[in-house]
Amino acid sequence: MTVFVYVDTSKQVGDKDHLKVFATQDAAEARFQEHDPEGVAFEYEVLVF
């Protein structure tokens, strides 16, 4: 399983809006279309132990 992580570099580390985690690439892209057209989310594997 993977998630897509977006880092808003205009926010301080620890701010509630500094990171956004999306379950799907489509969800990330929908958010970017409305709020940050130049935004990029990176895919990361979710580790389950």
What ranges do the domains of the chain cover? 2-45
Mean pLDDT of 11-17: 93
Question: What is the sign, positive or negative, of the torsion defined by CA atoms of 7, 17, 28, 37?
Answer: negative
Q: Which residues face 3 on adjacent strands?
A: 44
What is residue 41's predicted lDDT score, i.e. its pLDDT?
92
From the centroid of its chain, how far is CA 25? 9
Mean pLDDT of 12-22: 94
Find tokens 């620890």 and name the residue. Answer: 14
Question: Which residues, other chains included, contact 30 with Cβ-Cβ below 8 Å and sequence gap of 6+?
Answer: none
Confidence tier at 36 by pLDDT (50, 70, 90): confident
Give dist(CA 48, CA 9) in Å, integer.
28
What is residue 13's predicted lDDT score, i.e. its pLDDT?
95
Mean pLDDT of 1-29: 93
pLDDT digits (tens, 9 = 90+) for 18-33: 999 999 999 999 998 8
